[in-house]
Amino acid sequence: MKMKGSCHCQKVRFEAEGETADAIVCNCSICQRKGSILAFVPADKFQLLSGQENLTDYQFGKKTIHHYFCSTCGVTSFASGSTPDGTQMRAINLRCVEGIDLDQLNPHKVDGRSF
């Protein structure tokens, strides 16, 4: 499915092609605080439409994931990283995607605290 999303102020806007069936919620220290529902798409299925200049990159721990947030409104609409085999991925915050009925999602729980 094609997803269009943005941060709250809409300075950061994106499109992505992917599915929501494998959505996750994670209990790691940052995901638990943000409350994101995440869907993962390959980097080549993600396009940042606007707002590159508004993105601030936050990294912690092993510094393998780029947790981007809008420097104007503070919303994290996506993150970037790679799979163990090196495939570049984007983690889309489904709470920032237009037209998704969040009540229809059945996200899998991931124990990110254990990683």
Percentage of the residues of the chain whose pLDDT score is greater than 90: 93
Q: What is the mean pLDDT of residues 78-102?
A: 96
pLDDT for position 62: 87
38-42/46-50 β-pairing: unpaired
Query: Using 50, 70 and 90 to split pLDDT, how confident is the model at 9?
Result: very high
Q: How many CA atoms lie within 13 A of 73 on its CB side?
A: 13
pLDDT for position 115: 78
Identify whether 112 is part of a domain: no
CATH code at 85?
A: 2.170.150.70
pLDDT for position 5: 98
Identify whether 105 is part of a domain: no
pLDDT for position 77: 97
Identify whether 52 is part of a domain: yes
24-26/108-110 β-pairing: parallel
Tokens at 38, concatenated: 């995440």
Greatest pairwise CA separation for the chain in angstroms: 35
Q: Please tell me the pTM assigned to this model.
A: 0.93
Identify whether 14 is part of a domain: yes
Of residues 110, 115, 108, the one with CA closest to residue 27: 110
Identify whether 113 is part of a domain: no
- 60-86 pLDDT tens trace: 988 999 999 999 999 999 999 999 999
What sign results for the dihedral spanned by CA atoms 44, 48, 2, 82?
positive
10 Å Cβ neighbour count for 23? 20
As for how many domains the chain has, the answer is 1
Q: Which residues constitute the domain of residue 73?
A: 2-98
Identify whether 20 is part of a domain: yes
